[in-house]
A and B are shown apart, each in its own frame.
Chain A
Amino acid sequence: MKLTEKEIEIVELLEKNARLPMDTIAKMVSLSISEVEQIIKKLEEAKVIVQYATIVDWRKVDGHEGVTAMIDVKVTPKRGVGFDEVAERIYRFPEVKSVYLMSGAYDLSVVIEGRSMSEIAHFVSEKLSTLDSVISTTTHFILKKYKHDGTVFEQGDQDRRIVVAP
């Protein structure tokens, strides 16, 4: 699907801040509000805009700090369906946040979130490694999130500029 320059600008603005008011977007890209609404509707229908989500720093919520792990998975691809079938079997689990097919030393990269390390250990040993096509898994626990999907979590972004300058 080929997008115009303005359509791309709108998507980029929403990608940074999905709650930007329509009239602000309209002004920023020099279109009318209804034109912007039409474009967004079109992009939603075409699934270019898939979903509007919120980046949450769960570490700040007591009892919900959670644990995230990235698991490198080696699998045996199946004739006819390649990696797709096993990937689907993995991403159907709700605790799995993302699944990517990778080049290099392993095949699938699985990101999983759980309440505790033991919960994730349970998932790996009971659900993931017991799948027929899975040959091996290597689990890496995330210790701290500095930047996620382009957003820096702790930002000391005060304006250091002098108040009035020529």
Chain B
Amino acid sequence: MQKTKSYVSDTVSRMKPSGIRRFFDLAASMEGVISLGVGEPDFVTPWGVREACILSLEQGYTSYTANAGLLELRKEISDYLVRRFRVSYDPTDELIVTVGASQALDISLRAILNPGDEVIVVEPSFVSYAPLVSLAGGVPIPIQTSGTHQFKLQPGQIEQVVTPKTKALIICSPNNPTGTVLNAEELAQIARIVAKYDLLVISDEIYAELCYDEQYTSFPAITHMRERTILINGFSKGFAMTGWRLGFIAAPKNLATAMLKIHQYTMMCAPTMAQYAAIEALRNGADDVEQMKKSYRQRRNFFVQSLNELGLSCHMPGGAFYAFPSIQSTGMTSEQFAERLLLEEKVAVVPGNVFGASGEGYIRCSYASSLEQLQEAIRRMKRFVERL
């Protein structure tokens, strides 16, 4: 009998493929492209961390770990969170080591959502939030932040979209794609609204180590917020460990217990060798992180000032490694600009609309590339803009 069904679920059929994909295919087919489209550090993982992983393999540490991760690692994470962010979590039942921050997001949403629950997603945002909400049976409700406020969430915006079905709010500071950092005062204002409507906050702090101009404030460090926050962080960005796929969740015990149920059935545990590497990263990696951070900050200063000089106005992003300049002065859409820049000058950037409607009129440029590459990219972009 002939196959008549597609077998694919309705939820997945409705999901749009990532807008980044098309650009990836186009850029990958060309030679001599300078890519500012990369969402990961240009550093290789510090040697000491790689070496610790090799040692763990030599010693034969290749079995499963506890579902929540090696207790030794969870203790290090607990100490790290106190030391760096002044938030305290019990390593025995409030921390889960995950396969990257992405899996952390997935199990967070699946643990909290009933069908039809609404989750507020602050756009422009990381491309995975809305699809992960949908996959978990929820309904993503976007808020559009504006370039005129440097893409900072205005607390009043939450009140405009909140309904009795609103369960949670996802925030990301420093933000991908805008680089915007929310300071303690701005987070406290958000916290007041969160408390007023009894919301849960999923705080994606994966870029927390890369905050350049001010002391970083972790959302659960805001008064009364710890009990209504799922904190997500990991090793990918700050420690240059993207390929290791290692993140973690810190949450109050009842939430952590719920998430651990999903984690144990779907993942068993995060990769053991990566966990041993992470222990070393937390024990001895601070100097490496500091060096990388300094280098990003210098490149940020160079790149953002150069963008402004060539006529693409760009706010100074406080963190992450993205500049998010406006291209509205060119009269083009984000996609037109990105496509022509790639075809005519071989510089790959990501059109801002990929990250949500309010990203239209902007492009995301990662400055996690060598200074020489950034200098050349600026030369090409200058030529491109002047020709228009």
Contact = CB atoms under 8 A, between A and B. Distances in A.
Contact of A163 (B38, B127, B176, B302): B38
Interface in B288-311: 294, 298-299, 301-302, 305-306
B66 to A, nearest CB: 30
Contact of B301 (A20, A29, A162, A163): A29
Interface stretch (B27-35, B68-76, B181-189, B325-333): B27-35
Contact of B35 (A24, A29, A163): A163
A136 interface: no
B298 A165 contact: no
Contact of A166 (B35, B128, B302, B306): B128
Contact of A24 (B39, B40, B42, B302): B302
A27 interface: yes
Contacts of A163: 24, 27-28, 33, 35, 37-38, 348
Interface in B361-388: 369, 371, 375
A20 to B, nearest CB: 8
Interface in A1-48: 9, 13, 20, 24, 27-30
A122 to B, nearest CB: 41
A166 B305 contact: no
Given A163-B27, A164-B37, A28 B298 contact: yes
Scoring A24, A27, A163, A165 by chain B CB atoms within 10 A of each residue's CB, the highest score goes to A163
Contacts of B128: 166
Nearest to B23: A164
A79 interface: no
B272 to A, nearest CB: 24
B297 to A, nearest CB: 8
Chain A, interface SS category: loop
A161 B20 contact: no
A29 B298 contact: yes
B215 interface: no
A159 interface: yes
A161 B40 contact: yes
A166 B39 contact: yes
A28 B299 contact: yes
B350 interface: yes
Contacts of A164: 20, 23-24, 27-28, 35, 37-38, 348, 350
A28 B304 CA distance: 10
Contacts of A165: 20, 24, 37-40
Interface size for chain A: under 10, 10 to 19, 20 to 34, or 35 or more residues? 10 to 19
B375 A162 contact: no
A20 B370 CA distance: 13
Contacts of A27: 301-302, 305-306
Nearest to A165: B39
Nearest to B299: A28
Contacts of B294: 9
B117 to A, nearest CB: 24
Given A24-B302, A27-B302, A161 B375 contact: no
Contacts of A28: 298-299, 301-302, 371
A114 to B, nearest CB: 34
A157 to B, nearest CB: 9
A161 B243 CA distance: 10
Interface of B: 18, 20, 23-24, 27-28, 33, 35, 37-40, 42, 126-128, 176, 294, 298-299, 301-302, 305-306, 348, 350, 369, 371, 375
28 contacts: A9-B294, A24-B375, A27-B301, A27-B302, A27-B305, A27-B306, A28-B299, A28-B301, A29-B298, A30-B301, A161-B38, A161-B40, A162-B24, A163-B24, A163-B27, A163-B28, A163-B33, A163-B35, A163-B37, A164-B20, A164-B24, A164-B348, A165-B20, A166-B18, A166-B39, A166-B126, A166-B127, A166-B128
Given A20-B371, A163-B33, A166-B20, 6 more contacts: A9-B294, A28-B298, A163-B27, A163-B35, A164-B20, A165-B37
